[in-house]
Amino acid sequence: PLRLSHPVTVPQYSALSRLLSTLAVLEQKDGKLQNSSLAGITAGTKLGGSITAFVAGSGARSVADEAAKVKGIEKIIYVESDAYDKGLPENFAPLLVENIKKGGFTHIVAGVSAFGKNLMPRVAALLDSQQISDITSIESEDTFVRPIYAGNAILTVQSSDSIKIITVRGTAFPAPEVEGGSATVEEGVDPKAECPTEWISEDLAKSDRPDLGSASKVVSGGRGLKSKEEFDRLMPPLADALGAAIGASRAAVDSGFADNSLQVGQTGKNVAPQLYLCAGISGAIQHLAGMKDSKVIAAINKDPEAPIFQVADVGLVSDLFNSVPELTEKLKAQ
């Protein structure tokens, strides 16, 4: 038999010897699970291996109980403490890192939201890993696809880091079913890290309409609406007739027609609803970057050469000041 003169010891936690295990970071607000953060679970399912979810803040235990029903999760780790309510990355990152180290996870996944984008770079830095941001698909456990240059180029990245820190684009990883699962719920470690940042206040735009980021239908207005008065006169009735969220182009936002939070595009929100209906939007590349994955794109524009018609499934060349009220009336009559 072959004998080695020097015994070889395999490090217990070498990248190769570890089984793939994903930690999906869930987001909660005021004790309510944010369904948009469930995209990380879908990504975990695509990676294969076991999936654990993590949630922290006051009410984390009840959020964990709720999330335990989500299909695909094996275990939920929660840390109940109001110190983590606002997801401030200065104390949330050390908290997450402690729990990652304890659990020995290979992939840490969060959604592309203000919370995920704020938190994950710090986690990556603390673990000396190169973050892989805003992925839209998973090729294998170390190879990921992400858009760059506002979606004009698609990059395939391979990571050799032993812990992969990933943010996932929600529109590319639809949330899993929130019924039928039976994960175990376990308390995590709380390092009680100091937080030099204090949460003072937040000003939130309130709306009874569906949330723009997750709505199944979106109606969007652009500079063609001409003024805030016209935007407010034409877009909300159209949105209400369809049960849609309202979006806007950057030109409409910059001109004061619509609130910042409604901007769709490269520097606004990414949406991929079943229906994206836009009026008075030319279809600039930066706008398309935020909505071109929508299932059906319908556009109203008086210029038949407008670039929006190159991506639209349905186009109407007309003056929106006639066609939007007409469409609204027809929808209401249905």
- Between residue 56 and residue 95, which ones bind ligand FAD under the rule CB under 6 A? none
**266 is a site residue for ligand FAD (CB under 6 A):** yes
Cα 240 to the chain's mean position, in Å?
25
CB of 229 to ligand FAD, least distance (A): 14
User: Under a CB-based contact definition with an 8 Å cutoff, are residues 57 and 33 in contact?
Assistant: no
Binding segment toward ligand FAD, per CB under 6 A, in 1-9, 103-111, 120-128, 313-321 = 313-321
The residues, ordered by sequence, that sit 6+ positions from 15 with a Cβ below 8 Å of its Cβ are 106, 160, 162
CA distance 299 to 166: 34
User: Under a CB-based contact definition with an 8 Å cutoff, are residues 94 and 189 in contact?
Assistant: no
Q: Which of 139, 186, 303, 326 binds ligand FAD (CB under 6 A)?
A: 303
Nearer to ligand FAD, 44 or 222 (CB): 222
- The annotation status of 264 as a binding-site residue, yes or no, is yes
**169 is a site residue for ligand FAD (CB under 6 A):** no
Nearer to ligand FAD, 118 or 321 (CB): 321
**306 is a site residue for ligand FAD (CB under 6 A):** yes
**319 is a site residue for ligand FAD (CB under 6 A):** yes
Nearer to ligand FAD, 141 or 321 (CB): 321
As given in the structure block, the two tokens for residue 32 are 């309510």
- The annotation status of 283 as a binding-site residue, yes or no, is yes
User: Under a CB-based contact definition with an 8 Å cutoff, are residues 252 and 258 in contact?
Assistant: yes
User: Under a CB-based contact definition with an 8 Å cutoff, are residues 235 and 246 in contact?
Assistant: yes
As given in the structure block, the two tokens for residue 42 are 């879908």
Dihedral sign for Cα atoms in the order 236, 239, 241, 244: negative
**302 is a site residue for ligand FAD (CB under 6 A):** yes
Dihedral sign for Cα atoms in the order 244, 245, 249, 253: positive
**265 is a site residue for ligand FAD (CB under 6 A):** yes
CA distance 143 to 158: 4
CB of 270 to ligand FAD, least distance (A): 9
Residue whose token pair is 């039928």: 180
Nearer to ligand FAD, 26 or 320 (CB): 320
- Between residue 267 and residue 296, which ones bind ligand FAD under the rule CB under 6 A? 267-268, 280-282, 284, 286-287, 290
- The annotation status of 34 as a binding-site residue, yes or no, is no
Nearer to ligand FAD, 31 or 307 (CB): 307
CA distance 16 to 71: 28
**36 is a site residue for ligand FAD (CB under 6 A):** no
Residue whose token pair is 């190769």: 16
Phi, psi of 113 (to 5 degrees): -135, 175
Q: Which residues are annotated as a binding site?
A: 223, 249-250, 263-267, 280-287, 301
Binding site for ligand FAD (CB under 6 A): 222-224, 249-252, 263-268, 280-282, 284, 286-287, 290, 300-303, 306, 319-321
